[in-house]
Amino acid sequence: NTLKNNNIKLEELNILITAYKEENILEIYAKNKSDSIYKKIASYNIAAKSGILGPKRMEGDLQVPEGFYYIDRFNPASSYYLSLGINYPNESDKKKSNAKRLGGDIFIHGNNVTIGCLPMTDDKIKEIYLYALYSKDNGQNRIPVYIFPFKMNEENINHYQKYYNKSIINFWENIKKGYNIFQNTKKELIIKTDSNGNYIF
């Protein structure tokens, strides 16, 4: 029904996922394949937290990544009921970290426990997983997943920059550009990474 109400056909479905760590929210945007503009169709509470605000930079830091990712694997037999893997570490993470091991295995999954993942409880992950599966079957090979520390308005930026170091604030200023473009256009971002690991939009 959610799709029908937004004039989106199941056999045309493409999705895009955004997540906000501080607000504990994961949002699903959807469109027909032939459309370019996404509409928000669902919003879910993330069931548990791990780590603090700021990007993931090494294995074992308990951090949930921040930045621009996509779903790169579907795991129907996850120990967390169902799970969708994201492509952490991406190019930006690899360039920005000097850790020997960056870690991996970051998932959107069921259940309500986590180390560095986005747990969604079993009933919610079922919905999210199905949206993703239909989109993949419709030929969407890279379902975008944009993970932000918080809603990146000026007020929040001004508030949080008092508590974090310069390199995190610079990183946030960088991903805020992508945040603003997506908020203004509701289109999938076209992203490159420069030699320092900064995102270019």
Catalytic residues: 109, 117
In this structure, the chain runs to a length of 201
- Per DSSP, 63 falls in state P
What is the number of helices (H) and of strands (E) in the chain?
Answer: 5, 10
Neighbours of 151 (CB within 10 A): 15
Which H/E stretch holds residue 178? helix 166-185
Report the C-alpha gap between 57 and 53 in whole angstroms.
12
Sign of CA dihedral 40, 159, 116, 23: negative
How would you class 60 by CB atoms within 10 Å of its CB: exposed for 0-12, middle for 13-18, buried for 19 or more? Answer: exposed
Report the C-alpha gap between 176 and 178 in whole angstroms.
5
